[in-house]
Amino acid sequence: MGEKAEELLRKWEKEDEEAREIRRREADWDFIRSQPPRLRMALELYVELGDLHLAARIAGMTVDEFNELRLKARIPVVL
Amino acid sequence: MGSAVIDTCFLINWARFSEREKLKLLFDRLFMPEITFSEVRSMVALGLASEWLASRFLVLAPVLPTNEEEVEGILKLVASHPQIPSIDPPELYAFILARRLEVPLLTDNKAPKRVSQLSGGYSVPVLDSLDVLKLISDRGFELRELVAKFMEETGFRFSRSRLEEVGLIG
């Protein structure tokens, strides 16, 4: 792998860590903890990874339905 | 102006944005693969989709046979780099459709953009919401105001490095 690719991978790791911190900080943890287990797991996974498709699959919802839940849980999408 | 492919996430995010019509300053037609449209369920997103479909600004694209080698190549790239998030079939299809049509892909998922950036072989212009807001601002709108409104209305945050990229912080 070239130097440029290595640099990109490092940049993404840093961006992902920053995004995770923002999601953890802004999430409404009382709301998340009040959810049924399956939804709570999905929301917690979203906080950690920011992956809407994966979290929606855990929740048993479409991405659109999960996005509504994300908004209620005040978890931001971080780009 | 030209066209672009959009995925579900982009549509559902922009459905909540009051300045969404400004997308028409950049594109005259948006294609959405039927496979991704089936994920749209909320009234907010369905309302916007109906409005755009009625005006033919949004067009549903039928699912075309995929090239197995192309799909395999992308999945191998994702599998070998944990920094690239998993890519779901609808998202993968939107990426392939954009590549075939040679138009940008509008998505807020990180995987397509990272695949495109890491591999010249799958190079597709991938624009996320911040990129699109920047392009809109180039048409004479204040980027800071657009970004602030977008964040407030859609529950988005932008990382420090992305804000630096578009010149909003030094």
Q: Note the residue count of chain A.
A: 79
In a domain, B170, yes or no: no
Q: How far apart are CA B162 and CA B168, in angstroms?
A: 9
User: Could you read off the pLDDT of A43-55 as tens digits, one per residue?
Assistant: 999 999 999 999 9
B122 touching chain A per CB within 8 A: no
Q: What is the domain range of residue B45?
A: 2-129
In a domain, B109, yes or no: yes
Domain count, chain B: 1
What CATH number does the domain containing B93 carry? 3.40.50.1010
Contact B24, B52 (CB under 8 A): no
Cα of A37 to nearest chain B Cα, Å: 23
Chain-centroid distance of CA B81 in Å reads: 22
* N-terminal to C-terminal alpha carbon distance within chain A: 25
Asked if pLDDT for residue B67 goes beyond 80, the answer is no
In a domain, B105, yes or no: yes
User: Could you read off the pLDDT of B91-110 as tens digits, one per residue?
Assistant: 888 998 998 899 999 999 99
In a domain, B34, yes or no: yes
In a domain, B168, yes or no: no
Q: How far apart are CA B113 and CA B100, in angstroms?
A: 16
In a domain, B36, yes or no: yes
Three-class DSSP category at B4: strand
B161 touching chain A per CB within 8 A: yes
- What is the crossing angle of helices A63-72 and A37-49, to 10°? 90
Contact A74, A26 (CB under 8 A): yes
Q: Is the pTM of this model over 0.90?
A: yes
Q: How far apart are CA B113 and CA B95, in angstroms?
A: 9
In a domain, B54, yes or no: yes
- B50 pLDDT band (50/70/90 cuts)? very high
In a domain, B9, yes or no: yes
Taking an 8 Å cut-off on Cβ atoms, the answer to whether A53 and B158 are in contact is no
Q: How far apart are CA B52 and CA B21, in angstroms?
A: 10
